[in-house]
């Protein structure tokens, strides 16, 4: 739900063609797990490794 709020507020998507950090699978996973520059919260510890992998796979489609 947090990410949907961020998108509503104009935060960048993780899986579009224009990305500050890249849009490959490893970069998306890194963004989810560790957050980005205080703009996206880190979900490592909130989501387990399996959940992060599933979310990464879904976003990289």
Q: What is the DSSP string of 33-51?
A: HH-BTTTB---BTTB-HHH
CB atoms within 10 A of CB 29: 19
> Rounded to two decimals, what is the model's pTM?
0.71
Helix (H, G, I), strand (E, B) or coil at 5: helix
pLDDT tens-digit series, residues 11-61:
566 666 666 777 789 988 998 999 987 778 899 999 999 999 999 998 888
Check: CB of residue 43 under 8 Å from CB of residue 32: yes
What are 15's two structure tokens? Answer: 């899986």
pLDDT at residue 24, rounded to an integer: 86
Torsion of CA 37, 55, 46, 29, to 10 degrees: -40
**Residue 1 confidence (pLDDT):** 45
What pLDDT shows up at residue 14?
A: 66
Q: Which domains are present in the chain? A: 2-59 (1.10.760.10)
pLDDT score for 21: 75
């Amino acid at each position: 739900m947090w990410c949907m709020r961020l998108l509503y507020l104009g935060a960048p998507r993780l899986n579009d063609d224009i990305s500050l950090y890249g849009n490959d699978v490893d970069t998306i996973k890194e963004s989810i797990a560790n957050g980005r520059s205080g703009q996206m919260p880190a979900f490592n510890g909130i989501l387990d490794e399996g959940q992060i992998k599933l979310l990464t796979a879904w976003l990289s489609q």
